[in-house]
Amino acid sequence: MDKILVVDGITKEYPGRMAVSNVSFEVLRGSIHGFLGPNGAGKSTTMRMIAGLMPATSGTMTLFGETIHPEKLSLKNQIGLLPENAPLYLDMPVEKYLALVAKLHGVKKVKEQVEKVMSDLSLIEVRKRLIGNLSKGYKQRVGLAQAIVYDAPFLILDEPTNGLDPQSVVELREFIKKLAQEKTILFSSHVLPEVEQLCDQITIIHQGKIRASGDLKEIHRKFRQGLVLKVGILENEKLPDLSELGKYEITHEHIVGQEKQYDLVFENDLDCRSDLGRLILGKGLHLLTLQVESPELEDIFLHMTEQKK
Amino acid sequence: MIYILWKKEVESYFSSPLAYVLIGLFSIISGTFFFNLLVTYTDGIQAIPQHLAQEISFVEEVVLRLFANINFLFLIFIPLITMKLFSEEKRLETLDLYWLSPVREWQVVLAKGLAAFTLILSMLLMTVLFPLIIWGVGIRDFSLLGSSYLAVILNACCYISLGLFCSSLSGNQIIAGLLSILGIMFLWMLTWGGHLNSNYLVAEIFSYIGITSHFERILRGLIGTQDIIYYISFVFMFGFLSVKSLGRRNW
């Protein structure tokens, strides 16, 4: 997959404050790229710079090989942005608002395009209503509709599911997956399982600096630092010495019902489950659980954003 | 593009009660001014002998005073219209919608200015009733009516451009409105300050920078090139400053 967006060492400095510092990452064509970070990490600033709403103090950003700058109009129809606060005119009806956005972007068949987007996002029933009178969920859908109504190939969605009810979250997630079949999406969220579910690439930003970026599986692998195995035996049994399988450490031990579970980290990173199973069973113990443990994205996220403070 | 933006703004004005309230208020107040001036004029000419009554000019006593009063009303009405144009959008971050699309700052400024001008014209349209009433009561002296309209329209253009600039400076409507009012008052005071100054050159400079001397000349039909240049450069300067102010986000 080729790189659609290349962010190279961008910095945004305000008087007396560095919002983002030397941020670099790449977004591949056709991917949903998760952009993670705690509040105030610099996510929105970075996304706004990529969307061409503000310039970087230094560094470069290219989209489809063209340098991004707020004054460059040629990229405006290529980027759709749903910012944290969607730019909604509360005194306008939904349909008129979307038609305005489509016209501003020079869409030829405005009526058809607006109709299609309203249908895709289930906005038909509220088409004549003023945006200000809609629920939070509908407003968010209108916000997303304005980002896609001119059919931009690259979408930036800043916490699109924030504040929505569970039903709307599921619907919106499904819609984003559908969008990703045709578009490339840079997506930020606080809901880490959601990112795991949707994204194949991620970038973690903290205090304005990139902590990790790349393929989600690769980041998982890098973070693991050794093979983690979960082993469960009966509560009254004792785990034998396993050092013949390699150097290991018990990182966690707890009881679940009648089972005692151990998290074992083997430094050699080799999957020794069959030998481990044989060894435990050979000692006459009852092996109840034996599995490879993958760290949750949440663990990685917390590790990246806490340890490096 | 400008048409799309202008249409959005005008529809926004007329889809809310604000435009109708402003037009209604403007009509009532200017109508009251007109009625009082007309009554004062008719009482005046009835109170003196007929050969002297001809000396009292209807245009001077009613038309010019009425348009001077309309100019005074603009001190409040135009800042009320322009104060929200950018500050409200800045507060709600809706300007992002324009900056995400292939629209230039000058197009947004021009469209918003034209939309505000459209609303002012709608207000002035109500005053067209006054000459009709005068016609109805048998007065046929309509000299200087055209130049009076031109004078208030040109002043309105200046106040709108000033108001747009003030609105682009702040995310707070009240501050933007107050800045506009102070700005307009400053423009008036410059001319008055010029009159008070004994130094001829200083007085002339003040008088040229202030808006009142230009307004009064055009009101009386004395339309000079310097006045036209003044109005055009004023509108361009504040339009340009508004564009630059909006462009600050690119710094």
Closest Cβ–Cβ partner in B1, B96, B250 for A83: B96
Task: Mark yes or no for CB contact A103/B4 under 8 Å.
Answer: yes
A-to-B residue pairs, Cβ atoms closer than 8 angstroms: 65
Tokens of B68: 């001077």
Q: Identify all chain B residues contacting A106, using CB atoms and an 8 Å cutoff.
A: 102
Assess contact for B103 and A104: CB atoms under 8 A.
yes
Amino acid of residue A119: S
Task: Mark yes or no for CB contact A87/B97 under 8 Å.
Answer: yes
Closest-CA distance, A106 to chain B, in angstroms, reads 9
Looking at residues B106-135, what average pLDDT do you find? 89
More confident call, B227 vs A98? A98
Task: Report the residue of chain B nearest A81, measured CA to CA.
Answer: B100
For chain A, give every residue range classified as CATH 3.40.50.300.
3-221
Task: Mark yes or no for CB contact B102/A77 under 8 Å.
Answer: yes
Task: Mark yes or no for CB contact B93/A85 under 8 Å.
Answer: yes
| Whether pLDDT at B72 is above 70 | yes
CATH class of A225-296: alpha beta
pLDDT (0 to 100) of residue B145: 78
Tokens of B57: 């000019």
- Give, for B118, the enclosing helix (H) or strand (E): helix B105-126
Closest Cβ–Cβ partner in A71, A81, A100 for B100: A81
pLDDT (0 to 100) of residue A296: 66
Task: Mark yes or no for CB contact A103/B250 under 8 Å.
Answer: no
Assess contact for B109 and B85: CB atoms under 8 A.
no
Looking at residues B201-218, what average pLDDT do you find? 80
Assess contact for A55 and B247: CB atoms under 8 A.
no
d(CA A130, CA A90): 6
Task: Report the residue of chain B nearest A89, measured CA to CA.
Answer: B94
pLDDT (0 to 100) of residue B162: 93
Closest CA to A159 of A151, A147, A150, A149: A147
| Helix, strand, or coil (residue A196) | helix
pLDDT (0 to 100) of residue A1: 63
| Helix, strand, or coil (residue A246) | coil
The CATH homologous superfamily for domain A3-221 is P-loop containing nucleotide triphosphate hydrolases (3.40.50.300)
pLDDT (0 to 100) of residue A222: 67
DSSP string, A269-295: ----HHHHHHHHHHTT--EEEEEEPPP
- Average model confidence (pLDDT) across chain B: 85
Closest-CA distance, B170 to chain A, in angstroms, reads 18
pLDDT tens profile B29-49: 988 988 888 888 777 777 777
- Mutate which of A100, A128, A130 to disrupt the B interface (most B C-beta within 10 Å)? A100
Closest CA to B82 of B48, B53, B117, B107: B117
Q: Identify all chain A residues contacting B98, using CB atoms and an 8 Å cutoff.
A: 104
Q: What percent of chain B has pLDDT over 70?
A: 92
For chain A, give every residue range classified as CATH 3.30.70.
225-296
Q: What is the ipTM of this complex?
A: 0.80
Which residues of B fall below an 8 Å CB-CB distance to A? 1, 4, 8, 11-12, 15-16, 92-104, 249-251
SS3 letters across A13-81: EECCEEEEEEEEEEEECCCEEEEECCCCCCHHHHHHHHCCCCCCCEEEEEECCEECCCCCHHHCCCEEE
pLDDT (0 to 100) of residue A154: 93
Q: Identify all chain A residues contacting B17, using CB atoms and an 8 Å cutoff.
A: none
| Whether pLDDT at B161 is above 90 | yes
Tokens of B72: 């005074």
* Low pLDDT (below 50) residues in chain A: 308-309
Assess contact for B212 and B154: CB atoms under 8 A.
no
